[in-house]
Structure 1
Amino acid sequence: MTTPTPTPSPRGRRRAPTRIERAAGKAAALQRPRVILALLLLLALTCVMLLDGYLRAEVGGDERVRTGASSSKVPDKVLNGGPILTFRGGQATTVSVPSKTIALTFDDGPNPTWTPQVLAILRKYDVPGTFFLVGSMVSRYPGIVKTMVQQGNEVGIHTFTHVDLSYQSDARVSREMEQTQLALAGAAGITTTLFRAPYSSETDAIDNYSWPVYKKLGQDGYTSVFVDTDSDDWKKPGVSKIVKWATPKGTKGASVLFHDAGGERSQTIKALPQYIEMMKAKGYTFTTVSGVIEKQRATERKQTEREQAQQDQAQQGQAQREQTGNAAAGLRGTTDGNGTDRLQAAHRKATGITLYEGKALIAAVAVAEWTVPALSVGLVVVGVAVMGRFGMMLILARRHFRQRNRRRFAWGPPVAGPVSVIVPAYNEKECIANTLESLARSTHPIEIIVVDDGSTDGTSEIARSAAESLGMSNVRVIRQENAGKPAALNNGVRSASHDIVVMMDGDTVFEPDTVRQLVQPFADPEVGAVAGNAKVGNRDTVIGAWQHIEYVMGFNLDRRMYDLLRCMPTIPGAIGAFRREAVLQVGGMSEDTLAEDTDITIALHRAGWRVVYQEHARAWTEAPGSLKQLWSQRYRWSYGTMQALWKHRKSLTDKGPSGRFGRVGMPLVVIFQIVTPVFAPLIDVFTVYSMIFVDFRAALYAWLAVLGIQLLCAAYAFHLDREKYRYLLMMPLQQLAYRQMMYLVLIHSCITALTGGRLRWQKLKRTGEVGTPAGVS
């Protein structure tokens, strides 16, 4: 053993921060507002998807949902009255359509396919219509509603989500009306006093459930419109039957129901011109619901005026004129809550906050209408990429396993010469003794170089004591001031006595045969580095089991694939071997990135060296034991990988054999380790979206199918590594919790990458629970 050369700074003395540390502090300060911005964007995306799902609640045909319900609380004059229900002066009053008059009404719109065709027909025949609109559809197609109103048609409310209001709370009823009013204000700058309930029919169908709703809305100033002649076009019975069913008997007037949405309406489009022509030929006129009310009010006024004139004939002229004027004023009725005469046209001009809130709603819906389809396309791309990756991993991993495990397979003559094992250590008092004890059992001749990177917990003393107690004369302990892991590794490489150097972490233990297996590929002179098979030692906790699955499936299965493609992106810091000359050729471990292992691996590729995976060289490492430590570790890995890829971006244009990583590896790593994981949350988001707004069962089956494919891949990976399958029982929970955390880590890393900040080598808290391999198998 040797003693250190440089002496550390005295404990307790606060040294001035270095340039790197100052840059890291600035980067951390920049990250905070960007993290907040990212969370706000995530919240906005969630809100947009919820809004889109709410708007896309399917509008169905007007099928009756209640039959035979009691109507004992409904006045007979309403049950037997006309199709228009008002509450003048707080009293229920019905209005009938005058003879030879048609109030042409349409439900469930607007629809981008059918409503414009209906409007074109009405414009052609100079016929007005009254459209009872669904608020969610209004907010999605505001341009159609604006055209509808400008054309002289009348609009009414058909609720916001086409829900049966009979069984809803007062708050839900008010919300359905208010949201639709806002949609109308944003689309056409108006509000309306007309209302038609979904699934309503004639007034005699009003029951004890729906009557309170009509009373409440009447008190709020709404006129409820029913049907006395139904075309039943939603049944699609054929054009002739639609025309027949829409025709009132004799010369009776009627409130006639058609549909311009809620399904396929081609028969309605064909029937409507025939119907209009036929009714006009019979002498019928067409008007709006407000037109019907105005005609009835005009008739009442004339009748009242005649009666008043007869009563006042004996009175003097001036008194007669005053009394007549008062009577006429009384007939114009009460006003609604805004002071507007309810007996005039149903439309009211939207002003003030209602107008602005309506426009905001329309704008938000426009964003949702663009965002969700775009995300759907992204989902398809991500899904194809994920499934493609699974397929590629399975095929190439199987080929790799069969190739490397053939009886006659050999890298060349056995490598039997001694190698140097470098152990960078920073405050590893819990683990360093276990690490040295595992190396003491190595079946391959080694020298061990422990590089203490300024530890303050006595790591050096513990290492020396462990080496002495184990009788190890091949251990050197080098002390240096804290400079980071790359500097520690470079110090070890410079101090190494042999041509092959093995690098391992201070919290890792090797099996006795690990070093021998790890160095055998160097029999091939083209091999510059070898990646070993890292295993999670502390896998008996939930977090440990999740990481165990990830290591076996996500890391080692990937490495088999990349090995065959000759574009291995990373040699794990826990277990890797290098030709010393190759490391020195590329300038050693770089401090430019947080992922020095990925950085040097790519550099070796670009220098023309081959990097391979040795599955039989196993190392057992202590994985983070808490979510906080796990976040810290994976954040450093993700960010460091991005740094390394950016640093070596010119590899995309490298020529010849040394350019293979740029042509093959770089695109695969970017797609599979950055782009796809960043957008992978779309799968979960759309799964939840589909469960809530589309089809719960279908979405659940789709999610289970994806989980099944992942389980298949994981089971095969466990088979190749001869692992116990019981840990796969944790995989469903891993998909629900652990994977989401990894998404957030990657997003955090992307934000940090945008700042250009740097962070120092981060130390994780260790427990030393990973002992010799025999205890963790």
Structure 2
Amino acid sequence: MSRSRSQRRRQSIMRPRRLAAPPLRFFLPVTVLATLLALMVLRGMANNEVFHDQGIATSVDKATVPTSVLEGGPVVDARGDKGEKPVNYTIPDKTVVLSFDDGPSPQWTPKILEVLKEENVRADFFVTGSMVTRNPALIRRIVAEGHQIGLHTFTHPDLALHSGTRLTWELGETQLALAGVAGIHSSLFRPPYSSTVDALDDWSWPVTKQAGSEGYLTAFIDKDTDDWKRPGVDAIVKAAMPDLPGQGEMVLMHDAGGNRSQTLAALPIIIEKLKDQGYSFKTTAEALGTASANTEVVGYNLWLGKAFVWCTTFSVGLMPWLVVLLAVVGVLVMARFALMLLLSVVHVRRVRRRGFSWGDPVTEPVTVVVPAYNEQECITNTLLSLSASDHPIEVIVVDDGSTDDTSAIVEELGLPNVRLIRQQNSGKPTALNTGVAAASHDLIVMMDGDTVFEPSTVRELVQPFADQRVGAVAGNAKVGNRDTLIGAWQHIEYVMGFNLDRRMYDVLNCMPTIPGAIGAFRRTALQQAGGMSDDTLAEDTDVTMALHRAGWKVVYAEDARAWTEAPVSMKQLWSQRYRWSYGTMQAMWKHRHALLERGPAGHFGRVGLPFVSLFMVVTPLLAPAFDIGMVYGVVFVDAYKTLAAWFAVMALQAVCAWWSFHLDKEKAWHLITLPAQQVVYRVLMYMVLMQSAITALTGGRLRWQKLKRTGEVGLDVTTGAMSS
């Protein structure tokens, strides 16, 4: 019997399957999202937002610090074999090393360089990687004018509070930045928040040891001017003077990190006073009589540095535009929510008001066309539901070259007013056109072979044809298998995303899609629109747009309900939505000339197409940036404010969802899965749309993909109630 064949087929589908590795189709969208997040992190690093903290380690224990280091000079060499017995170097007498931390600054560093140039003085500049990436020209100028570059980490953390891995990363990123902007590496390092060597303790000493093990000479100071506190020019000058006459020293000043006007004013005075005392000014390498700490970078490391700087520069330049774009999209999304809520109220008041009708009741017979390709699991439920219709119908099943028992099941059912037409596999549009050509009546209903109708569905669906301007009617497609998590998510999407949209589009007279699961057409309207076309993979959207351009009205019948079997796995869902979104893009491109047409076609072109473009393509494509921004905000900026904003958007979504469920007379308990849907399901839909857009832009082709069915959505013909 046909039922036994269907049951055997169903059992084979329901067998548990081994978990497989994520398919390659996820790779490209995930790569795009990961790249966006990486660019945001790079931008945050360059602006000192990411990984930046102001915690400072405090300790008084010095048990692990060698006494020779605590009592030695400001330069500590713990490199190589000196790691166990570090060596201190003292600045020679009558020698001063001027050092500037935290730069370069586009405001203060050029002015400081001018003073040094006028005084013929060379100095050390301990730069942060974030400032290097933002001010490459200044780094090149510092090097060109004979000064020495030292590393001051990338994001200026107190490394005593972080792991050795963080230290390696901070120095490595800064070296990349230096290589990219100036073609150099530096072997000179100064830890942030460091001072004189006698301030080293058990927390900060390991930083110096690890830096030495990685080949760095660590420069501390003899004199701290505290210029960052802005104590006044005289105080800065006084703090820079040596404690003992003729004593060599390394002086700490700052060329960035705040208002450095006092530093700039004090610098020439310091230089003149020390020159008058017979001091000469040198870099650290010159003072110690060693080769320069700055070495040229060539080959792979040079190009890696250039790529790093280019990506950072690109991310910094991109983000303002992206922020503006996302702000515009955010406003549009909020406006869409408001418009959907407002126009849904308008639609409901219009169609539910007392005495509303489309005209005289439509009682003429209707042809229902059911295209079927390998639908043996579902075709029985579909035809039994149609047999319970309270409106006169004929049913034409077009078997589009099925390789299973679909045709045999139709024949064995032996239902009255059901005709079976077999054809070679030619695709759904051709099957629909075959059914239309064989139809006996002028009103034609189209439905999928996995869908069931309620007894009143056909009657409710054709009533708008009492208005002679109506060429097609979109029904209310509902998810029948909603008792699983993925089914519940699609149920929310259908009620909130599709049906609430259709109310809005109905009021605006620019309905973009008649769902393939349930739609009705005038034969004359279909003929004027050119029939069902195989130009796109979304023949339902294609024909709907063609009907608008032919001057016909397309409306929504909320009480014409169809219960469809939604995909039961993520893989099947991906295949279905990939086809839908790609086909929608194809249809939009095919009908793009409606933008320039007049009359009803122009109305659709200037209202419907922009709406579809903005809210079905552009906004969803940009939406992942909101989620990436949320992750960025939670991790790197302000978790509480970011989460508060996200929950506010979620609350607005919940309001819209509840209202749409209320309008559709659905029980709202399925909305308990809404948060998970927004986190998981919505991201999946983004990725589908991204892949569709990439396929479209690269000129790729997508073939029709048949979904596997279980036949679990049915109708109790004795009561007319849907069952699953």
* Residue 251 (structure 2) pairs with residue 256 (structure 1): yes
Letter aligned with residue 393 of structure 2:
I
Q: Which of 253, 260, 272 in structure 2 is aligned with 1:280? A: 272
Contact 1:103 1:292 in 2 (8 A): no
- The structural deviation recorded for 1:125 is 4.3
> Residues 338-372 of structure 1, C-alpha deviation per residue, up to 9 Å, x if partnerless?
xxxxx244333334544444334333333333344
Match of 1:434?
Answer: 381
Letter aligned with residue 391 of structure 1:
A
Contact 1:62 1:234 in 2 (8 A): no
Match of 1:712?
Answer: 655
Of 721-730 and 134-143, deviating more is 134-143
- The structural deviation recorded for 1:418 is 2.2
Contact 2:51 2:636 in 1 (8 A): no
- The structural deviation recorded for 1:286 is 6.0
> Residues 236-295 of structure 1, C-alpha deviation per residue, up to 9 Å, x if partnerless?
455565555555557565433222233xx22x224422342265246354624427734x
Change (3 A) 1:411 1:142: same
Q: Please report the TM-score for the alignment, with normalisation by the length of structure 2.
A: 0.88
Q: How does 1:505-584 map to 2 (within 5 A)?
A: 505-584=448-527
Contact 1:422 1:448 in 2 (8 A): yes
Match of 2:149?
Answer: 155
Give distance in 2, aligned partners of 1:100 and 1:136: 35
* Residue 395 (structure 2) pairs with residue 448 (structure 1): yes
Letter aligned with residue 520 of structure 1:
Q
Match of 1:128?
Answer: 122
Task: State the identity as a percent.
Answer: 56
* Residue 68 (structure 2) pairs with residue 72 (structure 1): no
Of 200-209 and 352-361, deviating more is 352-361
Contact 2:97 2:284 in 1 (8 A): no
Match of 1:181?
Answer: 175
- The structural deviation recorded for 1:700 is 2.5
Contact 1:106 1:260 in 2 (8 A): yes
- The structural deviation recorded for 1:431 is 1.7
* Residue 677 (structure 2) pairs with residue 734 (structure 1): yes
Match of 2:306?
Answer: 359
Q: Which of 315, 319, 335 in structure 2 is aligned with 1:368? A: 315
- The structural deviation recorded for 1:137 is 2.8
Contact 2:233 2:265 in 1 (8 A): no
Change (3 A) 1:60 1:96: farther
Match of 2:192?
Answer: 198
* Residue 384 (structure 2) pairs with residue 392 (structure 1): no
Match of 1:3?
Answer: none
Contact 2:78 2:208 in 1 (8 A): no
Letter aligned with residue 557 of structure 1:
L
- The structural deviation recorded for 1:79 is 2.2
Give distance in 2, aligned partners of 1:246 and 1:414: 98
Match of 1:212?
Answer: 206
Of 678-687 and 225-234, deviating more is 225-234
> Residues 662-692 of structure 1, C-alpha deviation per residue, up to 9 Å, x if partnerless?
1111111112111222222111222222333
Of 134-143 and 149-158, deviating more is 134-143
Larger C-alpha radius of gyration, 1 or 2? 1
Q: Which of 636, 641, 650 in structure 2 is aligned with 1:693? A: 636
The SS at the match of 1:680 is helix
Give distance in 1, aligned partners of 2:672 and 2:589: 38
Contact 1:133 1:157 in 2 (8 A): yes
Match of 2:427?
Answer: 484
Give distance in 1, aligned partners of 2:559 and 2:322: 43
Match of 2:3?
Answer: none
* Residue 105 (structure 2) pairs with residue 111 (structure 1): yes
Of 64-73 and 495-504, deviating more is 64-73
Match of 2:15?
Answer: none
Letter aligned with residue 177 of structure 1:
L
Match of 1:496?
Answer: 439
Match of 1:11?
Answer: none
Contact 2:50 2:636 in 1 (8 A): no
Contact 2:51 2:155 in 1 (8 A): no
Of 76-85 and 610-619, deviating more is 76-85
Q: Please report the TM-score for the alignment, with normalisation by the length of structure 1.
A: 0.82
Contact 1:418 1:446 in 2 (8 A): yes
Letter aligned with residue 150 of structure 2:
G
Match of 1:142?
Answer: 136
The SS at the match of 2:721 is helix
Change (3 A) 1:460 1:223: closer
Q: Which of 555, 558, 569 in structure 2 is aligned with 1:615? A: 558
Give distance in 2, aligned partners of 1:760 and 1:345: 64
Give distance in 2, aligned partners of 1:588 and 1:757: 26
Change (3 A) 1:761 1:44: closer
Give distance in 1, aligned partners of 2:55 and 2:331: 43
Q: Which of 594, 597, 601 in structure 2 is aligned with 1:658? A: 601
> Residues 560-616 of structure 1, C-alpha deviation per residue, up to 9 Å, x if partnerless?
111111110000011111112111222211122221111111111111110011111
Contact 1:450 1:478 in 2 (8 A): yes
Change (3 A) 1:240 1:541: farther
Give distance in 2, aligned partners of 1:429 and 1:374: 53
Gaps of 5+ in 2: 1-22
Give distance in 2, aligned partners of 1:124 and 1:416: 98
Contact 1:140 1:362 in 2 (8 A): no
Contact 1:593 1:640 in 2 (8 A): yes
Q: Which of 261, 271, 277 in structure 2 is aligned with 1:269? A: 261
Contact 1:530 1:578 in 2 (8 A): yes
Give distance in 1, aligned partners of 2:721 and 2:677: 27
Give distance in 2, aligned partners of 1:505 and 1:55: 54
The SS at the match of 2:419 is strand
Contact 1:447 1:474 in 2 (8 A): yes
Gaps of 5+ in 1: 1-31, 298-342
